[in-house]
Structure 1
């Protein structure tokens, strides 16, 4: 990419020297004999770097610097003078100069400073681009859908995001709970601070307190140094606790204290630390039922449940399926796109399917079709279970005729259970914890059922 540099100095010999030097470095160089001439050049063209003398007739280099930053803030500026003072250098840096060069200078010094000034400018641009990309991605664009239920979710996010209230997001696995948490964060005043997400169900119970609050060196075997926990990592920002229902009762009390008192203590520590963190929690379980059972603290539930967002399952927002298919198609299929993204037959199958895995399952189906080389989503690329028609809702009773000769009910039910377990494992890619979530089972219960059929091999 061509880099444009403007050299500004009232001495012709200095301008020509710098122009030759920078030209040899591969830059495209223009010259100006005064600040006024430089401003005229800047009106016509955008420069990546300006190298200007300070002492010049008419406008000086400090005034020129201020005008450049008004016109093109991204332009990097190096100032040079034979009469440098500490006050001038401080003023130049405050106004946005990259650096201040004292004459006479070495050739290598100019080369290095020019290169570093441009690299810093590029880094600032890239950081800004990434920040804007993240904010756009998680504003609402990550949440796809225009159904009534999704519009209600968007409306609630808009209302709750600017506040400091804790939020509880409830919904089945794969409905987009983390996307909602990110949307809340990136539409809040904390968007410039960290967003830290953790799946509580993936942390071993023995390490959970250390993960949340950090630990001091020597606090336990293996604690070879001080370590910051999630609350410290999220300081000033948002901490997203996914699957909050997996947190054991003993730790729930400490979590409640951190939320109420806005302070915590590292494992093995003696001092309390302040915690300026917004809590967003999520669960695919019925936390109110857990409260009744005694496995989840009632006071913690109410602390987290200041505002509740319920994510609708995909089967309740069928109108969004065509929009979601198009979104995932463009994510996984390289252009040029087919005139027809999905066939009528394939769309009919998708619309009639129950989607126990919700939006995540739909995305996997579209990705499957792209991997199989299809330029459009067709019936042929969809997995066999979709061709069987719509699945019954969880808890529904399917019709079964009792044979005249009778039947072995235990064997029949075992056969159904084994097929469902295998399907859950297949759909979750062999990840048992995810498979258990699909079947609304605890991980321990799922492992027990696998062992019953000799399927729990590590």
Structure 2
């Protein structure tokens, strides 16, 4: 690792033109006079009126330490004692500077410069905008020519500086807004969740588990966390995402952990695997509950030891990544039923966040609709807006119990896309909203879950219900629910007789189900949900 120092020139302490300047302690020059410490590069900050001194220091350092490269960085500061000006100027320079933390370590020199400059350097290091530590130098107890004095590195423990951290509230608000894509969400539970996620994301490299229904935004939030950490120079690698539900059989281990050439049929070349691709980056494993038990065991080792064994390999490989996992299952139940390893669950649930679905956040539908309309306008190159009546109708429906939002934000994004595409002259009208509402109702009808009072037996009259034993009634309710969730009589039959059909020589699940329903006077057409006709 190369040592890189960032610091201001000392307009008084570093001064002097004659040979006598070598007889006094000069803090900037002293940085390169330590025999056991090599400064490979010095980013020397100065204001325009001290250019001559900066050039002299560069020459002096070259004579003492030829291996030290000195970059003169001119900062146009009118008042070096103005806190706002100094911080803003330093902040802009730091934002544009390329920090290579994989190859270099950074020391912020706080002995020189005004007190305001020193405070600003402290704050920038504390906030990780300068990804390094503080460097404090001091003169020797007895002045001798060439004596470098002392050098102390100070690694900040952010938890000890709560009062100073308050100065970063504005930056934190920006970070929280970034995680929410600038959407002014109103749901208190969701807002509190995102505020905690922001704190954890920038302070911890421990695994994070995101729980929530499909379309709740797990993948989106994971990518935002990665971008936030990368902006703080906490990650240098890639964002790697994989849906574990797509991994099957032997290919699952190969995809995740890689393989050696010839390790199995079809392995014609070495494959690094996604865990190695995510080295020094963030790995997002969506639907982690779908992983097989063998892959879970390999993943646990990779998380704990940063090492794992590719398929067909003789030696472990290394990969240091941060894991974010997503699931729409209750992993506690999966553990109880033996489908998910208890030790892996314990390792990944240190930070667990349950993302509420859109139905649980009705107050957030309006700001999300506005955000999606802005995106649609940017993509199409034309402004798209609701009429007042159309917006009121859409929001009334979207926030009502009629809208289950099974697909959550995916359904909402698709709905806004349809509306913006069909809007004549960029205006979404009330008739267009009415048609979209009907489309959404039809879309959700097949997937909606039965609620109280909708057990599927409303087709039977009271006399018929009284003639059915409770045992038969409960069984019939379950059968009808499967029928309503199936697209055909054959599909419903296959789902209901999946086990027993394996032992039958003649399989006719549809006929078997039809006869069962007829025992209670029901027909498939009554218990299924047929799609509506062509929308007007």
TM-score normalised per structure 1: 0.59
Asked if structure 1 preserves the Cα contact closer than 8 Å seen for 2:175 and 2:228, the reply is no
Q: What secondary structure, in the 3-state scheme, does the structure 2 residue paired with 1:367 have?
A: helix
Could you tell me which residue of structure 2 aligns to residue 308 of structure 1? 352
Q: Work out which of the residue numbers 470, 485, 488 in structure 2 matches 1:420.
A: 485
Go from structure 1 to structure 2 and tell me whether the alpha carbon gap of 1:381 and 1:157 turns closer, same or farther (over 3 Å shift).
same
Rounded to whole Å, the distance in 2 between the matches of 1:194 and 1:245 is 23
Structure 2 residue 408 is the aligned partner of structure 1 residue 368: no
Find the counterpart in structure 2 of residue 338 from structure 1. Answer: 385
The equivalent residue for 2:200 is: 160
Q: Which residue of structure 2 lines up, in the alignment, with residue 278 of structure 1? A: 322
Q: Size of the alignment, in residue pairs?
A: 316
Deviates more, 1:246-255 or 1:182-191: 182-191
1:402 corresponds to: 460
Q: Does the 8 Å CA contact 1:138/1:186 hold for their aligned counterparts?
A: no
Q: Distance in 2 between matches of 1:185 and 1:387?
A: 36
Question: Structure 1 residues 151, 227: CA separation in 2 closer, same or farther (over 3 Å shift)?
Answer: same
Gaps of 5+ in 1: 1-65, 72-89, 97-124, 128-134, 424-431, 433-440
Q: Deviations over 1:12-68 (max 9, x none)?
A: xxxxxxxxxxxxxxxxxxxxxxxxxxxxxxxxxxxxxxxxxxxxxxxxxxxxxx99x
| Cα offset, 1:453, TM superposition | 5.7
Residue in structure 2 matched with residue 255 of structure 1 by the alignment: 299
Larger radius of gyration: 2
- 8 Å CA contact 1:199–1:243 kept in 2: the answer is yes
Contact 1:314–1:358, Cα closer than 8 Å, also in 2:
yes
What aligned pairs does 1:30-429 form with structure 2 within 5 A after superposition? 139-142=178-181, 144=183, 145-162=185-202, 163-188=204-229, 189-333=233-377, 334=380, 335-338=382-385, 340=387, 342-352=390-400, 353-374=403-424, 375-376=427-428, 378=430, 379-384=433-438, 386=440, 394=449, 396-399=451-454, 400=458, 402-403=460-461, 406=464, 417-422=482-487
Q: C-alpha displacement at 1:241, in angstroms?
A: 0.5
- RMSD (Å), alpha carbons: 4.3
Unaligned runs of 5+ in 2: 1-42, 49-65, 73-95, 99-173, 503-507, 512-527, 529-536
Q: Deviations over 1:151-192 (max 9, x none)?
A: 112112111102111100100000000112112222224444
* 8 Å Cα contact 1:368-1:381 kept in structure 2: no
Contact kept, 8 Å, 2:384 with 2:423, in 1: the verdict is no
Contact 2:208 2:352 in 1 (8 A): yes
Q: Secondary structure at the match of 1:354?
A: coil
Match of residue 114 from structure 1: none
| Distance change (3 Å), C-alpha of 1:337 and 1:398 | same
